[in-house]
Structure 1
Amino acid sequence: MKNLILDKYKLILWMVALPSLICAQELDEKALLQKQNKAQLFVAEGNESFQNEDFITAEMAYRKAMSQQSNTVAASYNLGNGFYKEGNFDEALYRHEQAAKDATSKTEKHKAFHNIGNILMQNQLCKEAVEAFKNALRNNPNDDETRYNLAMAKECAKHEKEQDEKDDEDSDDKKDEKDEKNQEQQDQDKKDEQGDDNEDKKDQGDEDKQDGNDKEDEEGKPDEDKDENDKGDDSDKQQQQPQPRPSTLNGQQIKNLLEALNDKESKVQEKINAEKQKGAKVKNEKDW
């Protein structure tokens, strides 16, 4: 019984709250519709300014449209066309990629990818442009202009590939040439080092030869040191000879000895003179 009453109570609450939820949803849809209408009005203003070549005013209008409805494809697409006309390819590419993402119809996707391909060609990204034109043709296979642009993009990509291969070959050739020059330089450095070693050996040989000559000169020269040593040896020999011993005689004995020696010497001299008188020859010539 209690559960039955509780279920009835919940049912009453749900029936009371349901009109409020429906009313809130209607308000959200109404607000969304109002934003969509405002976005369309801003897009229309932007298109008018764009046709009058007033891109600054057109850009402001397109941005207002996206502030009301961020996924407004027309605003993104037309804003991208304006940047492309101004030469701002990076911003134009961003806006067209945004349009291609938000597009809901094949017609919108085809136009967005077609313009993306044109922008990539301007940036010389041929390979990427080929993919963009292919995506455009997937959404509209009957567009001859897209097909023609695809053929041009393929030709550009082929030339780009050949140029890259040539650059790689040139790079390899330059690398080989650089390696060859480095090897030649290493060989030359090695030869220079060997030449320096030989020169050092030659200089060392000359120094050794000069030292030998100096040694011979020293051996041929009188050895002053040797003379000095010889003198020293003589001095030593003299020192080694017996030295006269000091006399132990007194004064009177020395006097008597000297008188005896003088007397003996006088007698010897008298004898010699006598013998000279006997053997002397008579001179026949007269002295002048």
Structure 2
Amino acid sequence: MRQLIIIILFLLQGSWLFAQQEKSLVHKGNELYQQKKYTEAEATYRKSVEKKKNTEGNFNLGDALYKQKKFGEAGEQFNQLGEASTNKAVAAKAYHNLGNSLLESKKLQESIDAYKKSLINNPKDDETRYNLAYAQEKLKQQQQQDKKNNKNQDKKNQDKNKKDQDKKNQDKKDQDKKNQDQNKKDQDKQNQDKKDQKDGQQPQPNKLSKEDAERMLDALNNDEKQTQDKLKNKKLKGTKVHVEKDW
């Protein structure tokens, strides 16, 4: 019995010592946090929660991560605290800080949801209500900007499509004209070739046809006959002869 009491006292003493160590680490972490040594504070808070997930150490660890702009890690820390805590005040603060981390990450809808959870646990928190309204306004502006950007993008796409279509039509028009010009050129060449072939079949100026040769031959025969007739007539009539006088 005595041994059991000794063991219990030893365990209680160990737990007390460990609790004191946790408090000491949290206290040291707080001092570093106040000195804006957030990296060192983070390391100290992590040591304080290694063996036991105490609320203060975990909460302050989330704050140290937030100060280092590690918004993703800070958000995870606060989300775990909010879900695990049975204390509404602690849950409200955890969700409030979760909302801030998400807002810094520009996750507007998620931050709105976190602020609403915070207000469920503490409806009288004016700071959370203000942050909620701010996040809602930012989301509204973002949606309006997205709508405007989408409209501008649609117009840009339409203009580009029209430009592409106009270019396509112009290219087709230019190609059609080019084809027409080529076809006309080919047709003119064919017509010229046919004309040249036709001209080549016509009689040349220095080449007589059979009919022309016959006509010329008949004409020569007629001329010869006429000449012979003239000579005959002269023979019949006689020829005047000039006789010189012999003195």
**What's the TM-score once normalised by structure 1's chain length?**
0.62
**1:180 Cα deviation after fit:** 1.9
Q: Are residues 1:211 and 2:211 paired? A: no
CA offset digits 1:156-184 (Å, max 9, x no partner): 11111111222222222222222222222
Q: Give the match's secondary structure for 2:94.
A: helix
Answer whether contact 2:38 2:67 (CA < 8 A) is retained. no
CA contact (8 A) 2:42 2:65 kept: no
Alignment-derived partner of residue 284 in structure 1: 243
Partner of 2:86, secondary structure, is coil
How much identity, in percent, do the aligned residues show?
A: 34
Poorly superposed stretches of 4+, deviation over 3 Å: 24-41
> How far 1:95 sits from its partner (Å)?
2.6
Distance in 1, Cα, partners of 2:197 & 2:129: 101
Superposition map of 1:66-77 within 5 A: 66-69=49-52, 71-77=53-59
Please tell me the residue identity of whatever aligns with 1:170.
N
Give the letter for the 1:176 counterpart: Q
Residues 36 and 68, structure 1, Cα contact 8 Å, conserved in 2: no
SS in 2 for 1:53: coil
- Counterpart position of 1:111: 93
Alignment partner of 1:191 out of 173, 176, 181: 173
Residue 49 of structure 2 aligns to a residue in which SS? Answer: helix
Call closer, same or farther: CA 1:209–1:282 in 2, change over 3 Å. Answer: closer
The answer to whether structure 1 residue 51 and structure 2 residue 34 are counterparts is yes
In angstroms, what is the RMSD of aligned CA positions? 3.5
Residues 1:40 and 1:214: Cα distance change in structure 2 (over 3 Å)? farther
Contact 2:92 2:121 in 1 (8 A): yes
Residue of structure 1 equivalent to 2:116: 134
After TM superposition, the structure 1 = structure 2 runs for residues 109-258 of structure 1, keeping only pairs within 5 Å, are 109-220=91-202, 222=204
State the structure with more CA Rg: 1
Q: Give the Cα–Cα distance (whole angstroms) in 2 for the partners of residues 194 and 33 of structure 1.
A: 96
C-alpha separation in 1, matches of 2:18 and 2:77: 21
Task: Summarize the alignment of residues 11-30 of structure 1 with structure 2, pairs less than 5 Å apart.
Answer: none
Q: Which residue of 2 aligns with 1:83?
A: 65
Q: Give the distance between the partners of 2:39 and 2:111, measured in 1 at CA.
A: 29
SS for the counterpart of 2:244 is: coil
SS of 1:100 mapped into structure 2: helix
**Aligned-partner residue type, residue 139 of structure 1:** N
| 1:196 Cα deviation from its structure 2 partner | 1.9
Pairing of 1:94-109 with structure 2 (within 5 A)? 94-109=76-91
Report how far residue 60 of structure 1 moved: 1.7
**Structure 1 282/52 Cα, relative in aligned 2: closer, same or farther at 3 Å?**
closer
The amino acid across from 1:53 in the alignment is K
Change (3 A) 1:40 1:68: farther
TM-aligned CA distance change 1:213 to 1:113, over 3 Å: same
- Paired positions, count: 211
1:77/1:95 contact within 8 Å kept: yes
Q: Which range moved further: 197-206 or 83-92?
A: 83-92
Cα distance, 1:57 vs structure 2: 2.6
